[in-house]
Amino acid sequence: MAFNILVINPGAGSTRVALFKDEQPVFEENIRHKPDELLKFPKIIDQRAFRKDKIIELMAAKSVALHTLNAVVGRGGPFRPLTSGTYEVSEALVRDIETGNYQSEHPSLLGALIAREIADALKIKAYFVDPVSVDEFWPAARFSGLKGIERKALSHALNVRMVAKKAARGLDKPYKDCNFVIVHLGTGITVAAHLKGQQVDSSNANEDGPFSPQRTGALPTMPLAKLCFSGKYTYESLKKKLNREGGLLSYLGTDDIQAVEKRIAQGDKEAESVYKAMLYQIAKEVGAYAVVLKGEIDAVIITGGIAHSEKFVARLREWIAFLCPKFLVYPGEGEMEGLALGALRLLRGEEPVQTY
């Protein structure tokens, strides 16, 4: 029996939707939302009905009979700390999202809500897989250096764990026996250490690690404190500056790595300097997470949208090749596939469902 799985992945300005028949995608569409459409809603959670209606319209346009679905799976957001795996969307999770009991506000919170509403109407199950808040940190990884401030386990866990499993299969080795340093290169960057199937430490793209196309990464503390008390910013405006207007965008006015590489090819020295600095910071972070694994690394894995740039990947490899001879590249973000496969493993009885 083939299983039909609807996959829902809400982002800041769009909702990605896919239909999978077992492992194979039937279609994938990116429903783009105009800024003025979303600005009508005071909170992200208020967009739930609007985005759900757009999904239903798309399914009708694709002539997909909803009653043929076997499961609906949505992207998992920054919920409370959870172990990795596939979870059923429970009443407790819905209640936590609706009452604001989560770590940060992000459109991915809508994935589970919309999946549950569609699934309930069809009397099938709704799931989420490896949410942003996967937390398998060692105790030592939680210390920040200041009592009262703890490092949070928030990462690109869905894509990172999916490529880890792909790499393990390629190495003909169980994932639970593998050690990987994994680098997700997107608008935010995650560098993670996977030890025997667990993500025991990782950078948090919003709070530490290297700078990225949109985010500042870790910053010198004293200048940051001074900026906070300068009177120029509210908390919300400064948060936006750090997480949406930092990194490449701050230095060069663009978050497009291809545009930066084009400027470098045209002789732009400033673009070259910033590009090198981002590479340098990523390479240093990879070195730090190699230390987490005490140098016992089966492979260094590169993934995410920037991994499509062969030039960027080649230059990063120059810095870190000495750490491990096995260097694997999985360009792009396999979030839709990761969500579908997580639900499929449950439908086939290959792994147990996790309870929220």
163 plus 131 within the same structural domain: no
278 plus 234 within the same structural domain: yes
Residue 251 domain-assigned (yes or no): yes
Helix (H) and strand (E) counts for the chain? 12, 11
| CA–CA distances in Å: residue 193 to residues 39, 178, 276, 298 | 38, 11, 24, 11
123 plus 80 within the same structural domain: yes
Q: For 57-81, how does the pLDDT look when each residue is reduced to its tens digit (9 = 90+)?
A: 999 999 999 999 999 999 999 999 9
**What pLDDT is stored for residue 12 in this prediction?**
79
Q: Which of 8, 260, 210, 13 is nearest to 116 (CA)?
A: 8
Here the tokens at position 297 are 């690394």
Residue 142 domain-assigned (yes or no): no
Residue 222 domain-assigned (yes or no): yes
pLDDT band at 350 (very low <50, low <70, confident <90, very high): very high
Cβ atoms of residues 160 and 170 within 8 Å:
no
Residue 78 domain-assigned (yes or no): yes
What is the domain count for the chain? 2
Does an H or E element contain 15, and which?
strand 14-21
23 plus 107 within the same structural domain: yes
Q: For 109-164, how does the pLDDT look when each residue is reduced to its tens digit (9 = 90+)?
A: 999 999 999 999 999 999 999 999 999 999 999 999 999 999 999 999 999 999 99
pTM of the model: 0.90
Please report, for the domain that includes residue 118, its CATH number. 3.30.420.40
Residue 80 domain-assigned (yes or no): yes
Cβ atoms of residues 97 and 89 within 8 Å:
no
173 plus 303 within the same structural domain: yes
Residue 354 domain-assigned (yes or no): no
For every residue of 300-313, DSSP letters joined together read EEEEEGGGG-HHHH
202 plus 314 within the same structural domain: yes
**What pLDDT is stored for residue 35 in this prediction?**
81
Q: Is the pLDDT score of 106 beyond 90? A: no
Residue 355 domain-assigned (yes or no): no
Q: For 297-327, how does the pLDDT look when each residue is reduced to its tens digit (9 = 90+)?
A: 999 999 999 999 999 999 999 999 999 999 9
Region of 70 (left: φ > 0; alpha: ψ -120 to 50; beta: rest) is: alpha
Q: Which domain holds residue 170?
A: 157-331
| CA–CA distances in Å: residue 52 to residues 16, 123, 319 | 12, 17, 45
Q: Is the pLDDT score of 333 beyond 90? A: no
Cα–Cα distance measured from residue 131 to residue 9, given in angstroms and rounded to the nearest whole number: 11
**Residue 79 CB burial class (10 angstroms; 0-12, 13-18, ≥19):** buried
192 plus 315 within the same structural domain: yes
- Which of the 8 DSSP states describes residue 75? E
Does an H or E element contain 55, and which?
helix 48-61
Fill in the amino acid letter for 349: G
Residue 107 domain-assigned (yes or no): yes
Cβ atoms of residues 76 and 128 within 8 Å:
yes
Q: Half-sphere exposure of 1 toward its Cβ, with a 13 Å CA cutoff?
A: 9
Q: Is the pLDDT score of 83 beyond 90? A: yes
Average pLDDT, whole number, for the chain? 96
